[in-house]
Amino acid sequence: MQVRPAKVAAAIFAGASMLAVFFGLPSAARYARADDPAVSAKNSYEGDAGQAATGRGLFNQYCAHCHGPNAVSPDPPRDLRRLKRSYGENMANVFHFTVTHGRPDKGMPNWTGRLDDETLWTIFAFLQTVQAEP
Ligand code: HEC
């Protein structure tokens, strides 16, 4: 029996598409990461002292009971003065991804629908002013 290459290619394509639907897409979503190039966040309030002062108040209102007053926490995973040391240039991405997805397995809430982007970036402007030297 003769197998036509076009048919083989079509069969492979169909099989691959089904695999992508069944395995590829869900796992891609599950493993979406903060350092994914598709996620690129920028704080428009960077260096804005007024926003940073407002952000300190918001931080102490919404985040301090877990992350410590003024972001000073004795527990390294919760100490948000370590963001720059941990993530360097990727710090804004990690921040934005984490606050908009949470880390449910670790007790970090997802703030989507509770705090808007403007509020979150205002908090981030404050956090930028308290980063420890690497
Ligand atoms: C109910 C407690 C709780 C509250 C409230 C909370 N967080 Fe968190 N957050 C955590 C915990 C616990 C972690 C550490 C998760 C881990 O170990 O990976 C964390 C991690 C983070 C991280 C990632 C830190 C890193 O080094 O990777 C960021 C950014 C963050 N929180 C921002 C915030 C902001 C901003 C707020 C306020 C809007 C907030 N969190 C409120 C519990 C909380």
User: At 69, which CATH number?
Assistant: 1.10.760.10
Model confidence at 29, pLDDT cuts 50, 70, 90, reads very low
Same-domain status, 112 and 56: yes
Q: What is the pLDDT of residue 3?
A: 66
- Between 2 and 38, the higher pLDDT residue: 2
Q: Is 75 helix (H, G, I), strand (E, B) or coil?
A: coil
Model confidence at 37, pLDDT cuts 50, 70, 90, reads very low
Q: Which of 36, 49, 54 lies closest to 96, judged by CA?
A: 36
**Residues 64-91: tens digit of each pLDDT:** 999 999 999 999 999 999 999 999 989 9
Give strand pairing partners of 68: none
Q: Which of 61, 66, 101 to mutate to test the pocket of ligand 1 (most atoms within 8 A of CB)?
A: 66
Same-domain status, 70 and 105: yes
> What interhelical angle do 91-101 and 117-128 show, nearest 10?
140
Same-domain status, 67 and 121: yes
Same-domain status, 23 and 64: no
Model confidence at 28, pLDDT cuts 50, 70, 90, reads very low
Domains: count for the chain: 2
Q: What is the pLDDT of residue 31?
A: 40
Model confidence at 127, pLDDT cuts 50, 70, 90, reads very high
Q: Which of 75, 95, 108 to mutate to test the pocket of ligand 1 (most atoms within 8 A of CB)?
A: 108
